[in-house]
Structure 1
Amino acid sequence: MTNKEIVYVVSDSVGETAELMVKAVTSQFNGGNVEIQHISYVEDIQDIKNIINIAKYSHSIIAYTIVIPSLKQYLDQKAREEGIIAVDLMNPLMEAFTQKFNKDPKHQPGLMRRMDDNYFRRVEAIEFAVKYDDGQDMRGIQHADIVLIGVSRTSKTPLSMYLAHQKFKVANIPLVPEVPPPDELFDIPRNKCVGLMITPNKLNDIRKERLKSLGLLTEANYANFNRILEELDYSEKIMKRIGCPVINVSNKAVEETADLILAMLKKRGVQL
């Protein structure tokens, strides 16, 4: 038997949590000469047998995060039989949750990793929405889950960000009579594109308020009623040409419009 100090970090998932905890403990002993050996994705009894056979011939401790009850019980039993110290890093806290909050654990390995993946997908979607906001880069149209089109002040940007927090990559394109729509709009599946419409009076009020907030005259062409009618007529023609679903956002909150968009796309067969 070697005198080398070893901690076997054992997990039925990646085992990053266990390794961090073991490193935190070893730091309290100035790191010592402890060697950490990582054994991940333990999934059956044979894996446990192999670990026990290795550990019993070394100067070692087993630190583990195993949430599958049968594997945990087998590891505890065999460790006791062989005189090996095996420390369960998760079960005491899981039992506390069960007792105090009256909830049962799922006993499924890898759930934290899935949560992390969801987090990173959300961050990626938010970065996508920022990069492809307001037609800054038309290449985003091809890679987006959802493409929003409409005239200025139809909530394209807030909708993009809200949907991004739901992990959808959204590009939004402003429709302006003087600027031809990008060819990419007509190349994507039309059921991934959503048109946003609004009543002329509502848009007029919104644009006037926007000009006021910027310290500009409300008589500017941006809020001119005839100009608004022209823009809305133009955008309607583009939406009909694409054949995309259209939502009137006049009296809808961003959350309500987002729910409608997802429902419409799902109904049209888009995988969300």
Structure 2
Amino acid sequence: MEKLNVFVVSDSVGETGEQVVKAAVTQFRPNFENTVIRKFPHINNIDHIEKIVELAKIQKAIIIFTLVEEKMRKKMMELCNQSGIVTFDLLGPMIRLFEDQTNQRPLEEPGLVHKLDDEYFKKIEAVEFAVKYDDGRDPRGILLADVVLVGVSRTSKTPLSQYLAHKRYKVANVPIVPEIDPPEELYQVDRKKCFGLVISPEKLNVIRKERLKALGLSDDATYAKQSRIEAELNHFQKIIEQLGCDVIDVTNKAVEETANVIIHKIEQGK
């Protein structure tokens, strides 16, 4: 079996080219027998291309490349043709197709897809974190979080956690209930990361009554009584004074507004 030598040349990390090459090679050599695939990532100047072409000529290699800059693609084709090297441009034809269809010039910026991937995975990680450490279910998350939200029930802790997670902040939230002592971790967290959420008793009364109705329960339960709400808010105030963290009044704020206040404070504190 003749040896197959393939160079994968990229101006980014080279994963796209490598995966396409492997997908094609396995149709002929499922176990990559007598096959060498060598990756050349972050190739960003003509000198690099010249040296790779020289090496490919010596090793009788095929060059598969993913280069977003037109001048780099042209130079690669030119040098390969001059040296009699078999080559294939993976991205060029597709870039030209989209250029024709959109009447736009490509950015020609290497690695954009990986930047998007990084942002995507950070968001997913933050969302999973917010779910795992929602409503104080695991206090260990408090010390791992970028943001810690503290408040009585129905102060938008969970939707706020999810909104911030989509901004790639890892958020843990802790409910404050008079009958239950806050976790010790709450007193150990950096005060700049901790935010108390307060709301007017009247507004909270309305919200809790609506919540009870949605659950098919009577709206005169203790949970929605004014006396209970005031007791919870008084207890919350005592905890917040111990923590010494910022307090945000969410009475008439949308989740987005509260999130923007928190993001601004967090970024200022960095």
TM-score, normalising length from structure 2? 0.89
State whether structure 2 residue 29 is matched by structure 1 residue 37: no
Question: 1:61 offset after TM fit, Å?
Answer: 2.4
Note the aligned Cα RMSD (angstroms): 2.4
Question: Once structures 1 and 2 are overlaid, which stretch shifts more, 65-74 or 160-169?
Answer: 65-74
CA distance 1:270–1:96, shift in 2 (3 Å): farther
In the alignment, which residue of structure 1 is the partner of 2:143?
142
The CA distance in 1 between the partners of 2:215 and 2:182, in whole Å, is: 28
Once the two structures are TM-superposed, the CA of residue 34 in structure 1 deviates from its matched residue by 7.7
In structure 1, the partner of 2:186 is: 185
Q: Which residue in the other structure is 2:14 paired with?
A: 15
Question: Is the CA contact 2:155–2:198 (under 8 Å) kept in the aligned structure 1?
Answer: yes
**Structure 2 Cα separation of the partners of residues 239 and 81 of structure 1:** 74
Match in the other structure for 1:249:
250
CA contact (8 A) 2:136 2:174 kept: yes
Q: After TM superposition, give the deviation of residue 196 of structure 1 in Å.
A: 0.9
Q: Residue 152 of structure 2 corresponds to which residue in structure 1?
A: 151
Once the 2 structures are TM-superposed, how far is the Cα of residue 251 of structure 1 from its aligned partner? 2.6
Unaligned runs of 5+ in 1: none
d(CA) in 1 for partners of 2:266, 2:53? 53
Distance 1:39 1:237 in 2: 61
**Is 1:131 the equivalent of 2:132?**
yes
Paired letter, 2:200: T
Aligned partners of 2:254 and 2:83: how far apart in 1? 64
Q: CA deviation at 1:226?
A: 0.3
- Does residue 171 (structure 1) correspond to residue 185 (structure 2)? The answer is no
Aligned residue for 1:56, secondary structure, equals: helix
**Shift in Å at residue 82 of structure 1?**
0.6
SS in 2 for 1:106: coil
Quote how far apart the aligned CAs of 1:190 are. 1.4
Aligned length: 268
1:64 aligns with 2:101: no
1:232 aligns with 2:233: yes
| Amino acid in the other structure paired with 2:3 | K
Q: In the TM superposition, what whole-angstrom CA distance separates every residue of 1:95-139 from its partner, at most 9, and x where no partner exists?
A: 233333233333222222221111111111111111111111112
Aligned-pair CA distance for 1:270: 2.6
In structure 2, the CA distance between the partners of 1:251 and 1:36, relative to structure 1 (3 Å rule), is farther
**Is 1:270 aligned with 2:269?**
yes
What is the alpha-carbon distance in structure 1 between the residues aligned to residue 33 and residue 132 of structure 2? 48
Q: How does 1:73-222 map to 2 (within 5 A)?
A: 73-222=74-223
Q: 1:62, 1:84 within 8 Å by CA — same for their partners in 2?
A: yes
Does the aligned pair in 1 maintain the 2:8–2:63 contact within 8 Å?
Answer: yes
Name whichever of 218-227 and 254-263 sits farther off. Answer: 254-263
Distance 1:112 1:181 in 2: 43
Measured in 1, the distance between the counterparts of 2:60 and 2:3 equals 6
Is contact 1:9-1:36 (8 Å) kept? no
Once the two structures are aligned, what percentage of the paired residues are identical?
Answer: 49
SS of the residue corresponding to residue 47 of structure 1 reads: helix
Deviations 1:209-253 (A, max 9, x none): 222222222222111110001111221232233232222222322
Q: Please say if residues 190 and 243 of structure 1, whose CA atoms lie closer than 8 Å, have aligned partners that are also in contact.
A: yes
- Find the residue that maps to 2:269 and give its secondary structure: coil
Structure 2 residue 11 is matched with structure 1 residue 6: no
Q: Deviations over 1:19-43 (max 9, x none)?
A: 2222344456676978351323224
Deviation at 1:3, TM superposition (A): 4.7
Match for 1:8: what amino acid? F
Write the letter of the residue equivalent to 1:151. V
Q: What SS does the aligned partner of 2:62 have?
A: strand
Q: Is the 8 A contact 2:7 2:40 kept in 1?
A: no
1:223 aligns with 2:224: yes
CA–CA distance in 2 between the matches of 1:217 and 1:261?
A: 35
Task: Name stretches of at least 5 consecutive residues in structure 2 with no aligned partner.
Answer: none
